[in-house]
A and B are shown apart, each in its own frame.
Chain A
């Protein structure tokens, strides 16, 4: 029975433990509950992946009503992969959360913090598995609201402004998506995504659908932080509480990207999105601009958190570019990189959080010599950083390899060269950190710094080891991604 109910269970585990968490006064107990719930949902996510492995699709009817009347939950390999992404990386971050919160927040607030965290996770899970367009909007809002609250909890007062800006941008984006959904509904009379996909092609010339597509693209681009709508991201990531950044960087934009892929390929259809609306003409230049601008800006940052945030802008550019290139390698790269980058960035931000935990700042000058004072944390950081650069045998290499192959498959040599150059830029900003960490003297006030407690160190190292693992065994990442890419593209041809 459990196996058939899994799609609901994976969501409910986190969604239901959130209110219970909020009621527990004692932060430690709340944490234990949260841990229990998220690790169970990790198990559920893997169980789902094993059910859909090979390309089957699960359909679960909420309330027992068949679609399109009721709301359908659909799990295929792509959503299962994203589920693992959310639950696994979220669980790792939560594991480190208790220790890292201890220094920044009064204990009775912890439970609320965990509850918000769980809500955000639950919402992202909800978005991932739903098969109903309007339901996407509902869960998108839960995730957004919890994200705003989480960001606003940052220590710097600029966190508040960052959160507010994100709230405004995010709400506009969400409302745009709502308009897009309304337009689709207007023309087709249905909200079920699979049903929409069937009914939309005959309306491809309808101006309403075209407008719907435009609204959707702008709205989701805001959420994905596609250049030039990335404006909210660097500040939000920089000023958010340190562990929160790790979680957000891993999940929020990735799930938005997932929604983008779902709608572009599955709902609107490749034919419409690319042949008719020429989405690639728009996305390719924008993503390239994002890659270059993000990498360039990252190089010149002296605050590591901000540096990593800008690097995220660039890395998201890679993923969008992968989508826009519209061939199997490109899409494989986008999906793989979605997973890999989530893992590496979460790990990097978590490692950085560990450093801030000890040093109290993420400025390069304070991190000087940290390779000597916190050798284990820094070593993990270097591995993850290598992944970001795309060093072979790390996960980052796999996704970049596919992306460059995609560019070469198209015969676009300059683009491939550009990607290599941007990798060099990534190398430059990671090298900058490594240089500070290992080859600069430890500032006097940080002489007594030592490695963080095991409870933070373990998740950091799990991220680092996973980065290597997924650089070697790619059945679950690139393997799945390739099948997904073929499936998504074959709908058109």
Chain B
């Protein structure tokens, strides 16, 4: 193409402050004109030493810190940590608390996917869907606020149950939200799915094969879009997910468009799960009594749940004689998804990098911790 014309590659430093990096990731791009020849991610700009902090906190004190590990889905993080601790200490959770947890976590998945929907469309230049996504998210945040008083970092799910019962108007309001939410999703579908610009920007962009995804440990919607039907909620069921009826959407091509479709469908499925959980929820206790400074027996456990960005794992090692964990390691889906990025953006345009980054739904605190 460029025979006889001397061209030179140049370096572009994208980030850590850049509108499309969703926080503070930095890419060092080697560019040939508009084409990305090589992309090297540099992380750590949000490394807050959460693991070190948690080693010096009691188990109850860890929960607020872990909230901030992945702030888009704080509820899931709490759930992952509490499940791991309960597994370690052998604590049983009351039925009602299990259902409350599921309702909260699935609503949180919807909220997180709405953030993804907004930022993705923003990254591809469509500003209005961003505001639509946040509009629906506010309704979910209202539900949380009436339950635990916080909008973003909840500290609601505790070891042994949940911190408090839901108020009396929570159920009707949730039902009202679930009633209108599918229509809103249809709005997004009408706005973007068939939009020719949206399609050319996303289809055949950032194709990730199933083998590549698995070898890099990519999980969650990104893995399912590559055609691997793997969902921890179904394949390694935790809590009470085996009682619900839901589908696991998968893609075929593993491109940005499939990842988009998979996430849209997941929002619908989550709404379905919440609906079932509300119907099945029994009355009763919401918390097993656990002493404030309880000391789990000596042991170690790795427990994982399906977060909205993939597998969220918590590894806890307990020394047995301490009220603090000896080691707590958090594993977020974005960590592996960012790692695979250089492989799949190679040879694309700089605009494709933005599209891929958006469709992977990378969120930096999960990477940096």
Binding partners A and B: no
B residues lining the A interface (CB < 8 Å): none
